[in-house]
Structures are given as C-alpha cells and as structure tokens.
Amino acid sequence: MHDIVVAADETAANDLVQAAIASFPIPPQSGSGSLGPFGASWSASANVAVGAVDLRAPNIIRLANSTLNYSLGLTLSFDLNTILPELCLPQVCIPIPFIGDVCTPRICIDWPTISIPLSHSGPVNFTADFALNPHLKGSDWLVDVIVVGVPFLQLGPAAVAILAAIGTAVSLALLAVPFIGLLLAGAVAVITAAIGIAALTGLLGAILTPFISGLTFTVYGPEPRVFEVLPASGPDGPVTITLDTVTAAVDSTDEDELVISVDISG
C-alpha cells in the first residue's frame, strides 16, 4: 500500500499535459540537405498544440489529433545550366578573297547559379504515444513523459503548399536573369518537377519529425526528495520526510486514470 496516491482522469490529465507542453519551449533547429537535384539549407521553429489526451494502460499517454505549428525558412540553390538549354548567338561567317572565311565568335550564355529564399508557416497533424518516466534528478523527483517511437506526421498537404510557394519564388527569381523570359514557364516546370512532392515530403520529414520524436516534458515536479513538513520553530523541532519512491502508471480499473504513487519515510 502506497503512502500517497494521486489520480487524475483524462480530463484532468489533458489539462496537466496542456500546461506542461505550454511551459516547455521547443528549441529551433537548422541544417542543410538536398531537395531533389538541388541544395537546400533551412531553419525551423515549432510549437505543439495538443488535440486530446488518451490514457492507455499500463503507462502510455497518447496525444491524439495534435498539431505541430511550424515556421520554416528554406534557401534553395541550383545551377541553371543543369536545367536550361544552351543559348548561343548564331555564328556568322563571311568569305573574304585571299583570306577565306572570317567568322564571328560563337557566344553562349552561361546561366548563373541562383539562390532562392523562401519562408513558409503552417500546421502538421500528428498522433504520438508518450511513456511515463518517474525519476530522481539530483535531489528532486520528476515525472516526465517521453515520446515512444517516431510519430507519423501528415506532411502531404504541407508539401503541396510549399512546392507551390517554391514555384512562385522561382518565377520571381528568374525574372532577374537576362534572356530568361521565353524560357520562364518551362524552367519553373522543370524545377518544380525535379523537386517533386516525394523529395519535399522527405525533406520536411527530416526537418519536422525531430521536433516531436525528441520531445520530453515534465508533468509532475520537481518535488524535493527531502523536505520539512513542520518548521524548526515548532515545539518538537523540525520534522522532515523523505520521498523514497515515486511511480506513475495508467490505471484502467473503473476509468482511465493517471495515477502517481509515493512511498515516504520520516
């Protein structure tokens, strides 16, 4: 029999998890990778909005229908020579007696390498399971929840929106390139096709999944392992107790409840 038992139903657990996540700042991330045949560098920040808390025995808290709200800065760089046809001025030759043909030099346009910055914000839906982890940290007891496995993020709609934004950004960037007008529509089509939904979904997964898969937050504590229950000014001097063990579990006997149990000694 435990000395102290505290139970919270799913409604109370939802409030507890909401407050815990709201007080937990998710650090921003940055990195680089490839997007189809092109290079990409990115920076991203995110926060989590919990949809519903589903308690599952013996120790799982499922965050169902939740949302990862993200803000993404993306810079693409690519060499236009890899996607645009060679464009050269025609060579003209004039025959000159006693000399032969005199020709103008063959002049071709060397397409530049361009960088295209893009910013995009939006939501991604997910469901993830978190395991309860009671532990002693220094002199304090904590109950953390830690994500189990890698959650599935619904990236398809986000990828479609970002690919459309890339097409618009590419059009604006190419307008500044000389002689590109006649090739503009074709260049945008080639670039967006080379990137593709699959490549963009893969990059988004690599950027956004770590925000969830590495998520750990505290739902109980910090609670001092040793603390006074009566002050030193009392008639018998200070009285202290020690929290020997703290356990956490999901109990489904009558209804799903998050149960925290404490054993103490004095």
Query: DSSP for 38-70?
Result: EEEEEEEEEEEE--EEEEETTTEEEEEEEEEEE
Q: Given this model, what pLDDT does residue 235 score?
A: 63
Spatial CA neighbour of 74 closest among 193, 187, 207, 212: 207
Q: Given this model, what pLDDT does residue 237 score?
A: 65
Q: Given this model, what pLDDT does residue 45 score?
A: 95
Q: How far apart are CA 135 and CA 3, in angstroms?
A: 18
Phi, psi dihedrals of residue 92, rounded to the nearest 5°: -115, 130
Residues 131/144, Cβ–Cβ less than 8 Å? no
Domain with 182 in it: 4-265
Q: How far apart are CA 215 and CA 151, in angstroms?
A: 11
User: What's the pLDDT tens digit per position in 113-125?
Assistant: 778 888 999 999 9
Q: Given this model, what pLDDT does residue 72 score?
A: 93
Q: Given this model, what pLDDT does residue 46 score?
A: 93
Q: Given this model, what pLDDT does residue 44 score?
A: 96
Q: Given this model, what pLDDT does residue 96 score?
A: 82
Q: Given this model, what pLDDT does residue 234 score?
A: 57
Contacts of 25 (CB under 8 A, 6+ apart): none
CA distances from 228 to 60, 234, 240 (A): 33, 11, 4
Q: Given this model, what pLDDT does residue 116 score?
A: 84
Q: Given this model, what pLDDT does residue 149 score?
A: 77
Q: Given this model, what pLDDT does residue 236 score?
A: 65
- Which of the residues in the chain have pLDDT under 70? 1, 179, 181-183, 229-237, 266
Domains of the chain: total = 1
